[in-house]
Structure 1
Amino acid sequence: MSDHIYIIGEIGQNHNGSVDIAKLIVDLVCRQPADELFHTTLPAIDAIKLTKRDLNEELTDSSMNRIYDSPHSFGRTYGEHRKALELSNEQHFEIYQYAKSKGLEFVETLCAVGCLDLLKLFKPDRLKVASRDLTNLPLLSAMAETRIPMILSTGMGGIKELEDALQLITKYHSNISILHCLSQYPSEYTRINLRTITYLQKHYPQYTIGYSDHSIGIMIPVAAVAMGARIIEKHITIDRNMKGTDQQGSLGPDGVKRMVRDIRLLEQSMGKEEFFIDEAVSDTQKKLERSIATRRDIKAGEIINVDDIHLLSPGDGFKWAQNQQVVGKKALQNIPANEIIYSSMIG
């Protein structure tokens, strides 16, 4: 796993059955955002994700044959709709190669054991288990056997479901990431419960913990990073107004840019668990902090007492905690009122 926040752009079915649209989305997400204030270029998104289904292992015949009357339908029946959105193994491989040529990693969600045929063409960097398949133990076993790093979404699972999945996968390997998730589209803020991230960190410290988001906007993914998430997954598209059930709940080009920018800036801001004065504030500190200064004109030879001093800026003189280095000392020169007393002026 990368040493920075690993951001996955989930294309899902937002390609609308088109390799060209998928490639356009790849072009979108590989752009590097910028910190315009400090004139720096930030790391881009890390990976894109596609989903591979086996339509023979998807739904019951009655569900696949039902009429799908929706503005987002790509077919007369739900089965025809799903078939229109499904890319072939070769098309997945083409998009994989394109993503790799752009410097992106590639994550693949596999929805059935038969989908592992895809791995004959290429090896994704990570395999994703969708929330609905957390209890699909035959699929988990087949995926784990490949020993490709795995990411688990927990949007429909509790502790038992997660424990059962981990027990099975760890028979083969322990390169596992766990994503907190709420499988509600879009997710209500009152139900997201970001503190699950810290719960998972405490109880599963051996795994990478992240967050798969289905909320609207970019606030929650950024907040999840602040909570400690090391992976963020978010649906992405080239146009939120396109036909398709996931388009409106996805991030368009500007949203992707802003989310990645804000996550990168946040991770730069996290720092270390210490309390200290950063060297960047030294000039400001000298300018604005207060130093011991004269309250009246003091003539050379006078002894300075506590009633003769107060605090003024700049901050390059004695602090009040050092007043015993000033009080009781003799002025070596005339010091006007309301001026800083420096060590060379007293003795």
Structure 2
Amino acid sequence: MKAFPYSQNNDVYFVAELGSNHNQDPDRLSLLVEAARICGFDAIKLQYYKAEKLWSKEFPDRIAMAKRGEITEEVLAHTKQLCNLHKIGFGCSVFNVEDIEVVSKYVDFLKVSSYECMNSELISKCKETNLPVFVSTGMCTRSEIYSITKEMKPNDEDCIFHCISSYPAEDARIDILKGIIQSFSHVCGAIGYSDHTRNIGSILAAINAGAKVIEMHFDLVDLKGNESRHGHCWYPETAFKTIDIANAMKKADVEQNWIDNFMSREDRKDIDLRADEKDCKRPSIKVRKEK
């Protein structure tokens, strides 16, 4: 998978999903972007929608709740400036075809949520922007995921996410992620994991299974963001710890560089310090001055 703008780690790309935790407060949004960068995230993500287009009018309570997370194009432009300042990538979820043109002017990637993932026109129009397209596959069957990936190519920067669409999720179901990787990693740029468990073990298990993009819902330490009451949002201390451990784990795995029979490059340079087979003394006779 290619590195996105401001990627801090070429192996795993960490995305802080801010959702509506900005509370429509520009100062809080600024703090969220800065905190995400400090924690080691490679990108932040917002959601751009109009509540009336998101929910049927039969659900006024849902519409009222969704309105608390609405943002304007001015917020997109401001967020882009913040992300440039803090050298962190910027992505955004889109929910309607007509919003793509506005959002695509400001972001490094587009996202389609699990609830919209069967909207083939939405995904197709996202692809026309030539931006990387991320798609969550919560609640999807195998055949539905296959239909999502039809327009994706292995060399693209697109990503499909394993996701459990519960807030919070009790179980990450990494077994499903492994199945998605086995079945679809050859047809799109990367397979990712969108977390709702707020569990360090879930993140590490997903990376160990082969996830290349990790999305974590993120809030400030006060946990006063609009979404935090659901219990699926990470706060800075645990997010920093998780990303730090994950990066260390990947670094240890990558640097093994097996040579011959499981010998690492690091061990190879010291091999002549071993006791010689002939006289059982260190170092090897071949490097001694006295043969």
In the superposition, the TM-score normalised over structure 1's length comes to 0.70
Whole-angstrom distance in 1 between the partners of 2:250 and 2:148: 30
Gaps of 5+ in 2: 4-9
Q: Which structure has the higher relative contact order (CA within 8 Å, separation 6+)?
A: 2
Q: Give the distance between the partners of 2:222 and 2:206, measured in 1 at CA.
A: 23
Which residue of structure 2 aligns with residue 54 of structure 1?
50
Pick aligned residue for 1:97 from 59, 81, 104: 81
Secondary structure, aligned partner of 1:241: coil
Partner Cα separation in structure 1 for residue 243 and residue 206 of structure 2: 13
The answer on 1:178 being equivalent to 2:156 is: no
Tell me which residue corresponds to 1:73. Answer: none
1:130 matched residue in structure 2: 113
Question: How many angstroms apart in 1 are the aligned matches of 2:15 and 2:91?
Answer: 8
Q: 1:214-229 residue pairs with structure 2 within 5 A?
A: 214-229=196-211
**Aligned with residue 275 of structure 2, among 317, 322, 332:** 317
Cα distance in structure 1, aligned partners of 2:21 and 2:127:
27
Residue pairs, 1:83-94, within 5 angstroms: 83-94=67-78
Highest Rg: 1 or 2? 1
Cα separation, 2, equivalents of 1:326 and 1:129: 67
Task: Write out aligned runs for 1:1-347 (5 A).
Answer: 1-2=2-3, 3-31=10-38, 44-64=40-60, 66=61, 78-119=62-103, 122-167=105-150, 169-170=151-152, 174-189=156-171, 192-204=172-184, 205-207=186-188, 208-239=190-221, 241-242=223-224, 244-247=226-229, 248-271=231-254, 272=256, 274=258, 275-279=262-266, 316-318=274-276, 322=277, 325=278
- 1:302 is matched with none
Q: In structure 1, how many angstroms separate the alpha carbons of the residues matched to 2:156 and 2:275?
A: 58
Moved more, 196-205 or 15-24: 196-205
Unaligned stretches of 5+ residues in structure 1: 34-43, 67-77, 287-314, 328-338
Distance 1:210 1:340, change over 3 A: closer
Letter in 1 for 2:17: E
Distance change (3 Å), C-alpha of 1:195 and 1:119:
same
Task: Count residues with an aligned counterpart.
Answer: 273
> Deviations along 1:49-92, whole A, 9 cap, x unmatched?
0011122311111202x4xxxxxxxxxxx433322321111112
1:152-188, Cα deviation, whole Å (9 max, x unpaired) = 1111211121122222x349x9542111111112112
3-state SS in 2 of match to 1:82: helix
Quote the Cα distance in structure 2 between the aligned partners of 1:58 and 1:223.
33
Among all aligned residue pairs of Structure 1 and Structure 2, give the percentage whose two residues are the same amino acid.
23
Output the CA distance in 1 between the equivalents of 2:284 and 2:51: 82
